[in-house]
A and B are shown apart, each in its own frame.
Chain A
């Protein structure tokens, strides 16, 4: 769900957060024993289509990915439909080469920088929303929603235009601000500046989700808590650290986790911006897997990279994942 997505890309999940943060009375199902016990198979029948779809459409690609990663699969084998097993050769090749580790390092750093920026500014803007007057708040909300709703590829294209070497408005502004060497700067020319543009794009697209939902969460903090804090003589900062922050902690955890996943998996932003260039220096793991596997037609090696990418993602998120699983057990 990149698009986050999330896009999934990054993308619009107001409903999830809405439905999950205030915690709808999920326990409601608890006392519904009598009708369902009569038809003991009913829930399974209702769940069958969803389960089958998940097993076939998600499970099979995962298994297939694992199988491919142990095969010698290049254009020749692909065209002739040959299955040549080669054991752990692909993994050996990937893990002993220096490229892979460089890309892992780059991906982790890239994810860390983006998520820190998103969470920091998202939280600050969310808190700002709570402090603004009604009109100003609405204006800012509309602005955030506009950025949030922009489709990833459209946004990427717009950022290419904003940062275009010639006639790009960013270079013009920098030039006018006295930074004349930037007048014809090629943003896609170096690793650092390409990543800067990608980071700005991702942070811009991702902040609204954090800010708007954080603001929504602050509105559910009971007033009495602040009153009690001020009776105890707490100042603004103290009531923030003793009331606001603890209340928002679960939300901040889960959002950070989601953002880590989304940013780590971000493909269209990185790929469409400059196809991982210059000189393959902005390839993050998903892009690297694509370029090696599909672009250079080393499908087996690409599958091995994909598998390792999933492992890295699991390692990064394992702490939170364990927390979620435990929490779900408690709640049900």
Chain B
């Protein structure tokens, strides 16, 4: 009885409130970015942008060094994701498929490494990088970002590799493939969703990284977008239009990647394994 009307309304009503709560900040970011300044600084908020303008985006894009920073961020992110994937593939395969002494210890090591407190080790890293005369360079960033995403990449890929039925690999080897060929031809294609999911995580971590670049790279030409964005508001005063346009530009790649890859990564695995 109680469930009938009341029981159906309250979950949906709660859900509506929650959707608004979770979406609103994201919506407000994009909405502000498209509103003329007069609509942004108005005594009553303009809820829907009606006079759409692109001037804030122009201002953000034409800000000094913007494209250099985009290039820096993309380079550092893509390189560190690729490096960590490459290193992790070997390690994950060994951990998922082979039995050897010290395996358990290694898994635990990577688990602990996954919790590494990078945020508080920045002083030590600063000293190391300075002693190697590598301040204001993209190389240390790439190297450390690779390490930041490596443990999780290994552990995740291990799970994905372990989930591929062993029989597939074995039958390929019966058919005359070497172990390496079997891996390349059978497991690797099935791993595509796993690789996507793990690179998504790596991408987000590296794209977002803030404390290290904050301390290592003082030269604006060698900084990345998060640092630039955190200083944008200071540089532009209270120009919220431009700040929100810059935020939108920074967030957009991740939002798109996330929405696309999230679904693929999850459903792909089971599909692939069953069909294979």
Chain A residues packing against B (C-beta within 8 Å)? 1-9, 11-16, 18-20, 24-26, 28-33, 35-36, 40, 42-44, 46-47, 49-51, 53-54, 57-58, 60-62, 64-65, 68, 125, 128, 131-133, 136-137, 139-140, 143-162, 164, 166-167, 169, 172, 204, 207-208, 261, 265-268, 271-272, 285-286, 289-290, 293-294, 299, 302-303, 305-306, 309-310, 313, 317, 324-325, 328-329, 332
Contact = CB atoms under 8 A, between A and B. Distances in A.
Contacts, number: 346
Given A53-B87, A68-B127, A153 B230 contact: yes
Given A50-B88, A172-B44, A294-B215, A65 B240 contact: no
B100 A294 contact: no
B247 A268 contact: no
Q: Is the interface of B mostly helix, strand, loop or mixed?
A: helix
* Interface residues of chain A: helix, strand, loop or mixed (majority): helix
Given A32-B99, A143-B19, A150-B25, A64 B124 contact: yes
A66 to B, nearest CB: 8
A9 B41 CA distance: 32
A298 to B, nearest CB: 10
Contacts of B217: none
Given A14-B197, A46-B94, A154 B251 contact: yes
Interface string B120-156: 1111111110000000000000011011111110111
23 contacts: A1-B149, A1-B151, A15-B201, A16-B156, A18-B197, A24-B160, A32-B98, A32-B166, A54-B151, A57-B146, A68-B123, A150-B254, A157-B244, A161-B29, A166-B238, A167-B45, A172-B45, A261-B115, A268-B208, A271-B214, A299-B123, A306-B122, A306-B124
A36 B28 contact: no
Nearest to B86: A49
Interface in B63-102: 87-88, 90-91, 93-100
Given A53-B147, A143-B23, A161-B244, A303 B124 contact: yes
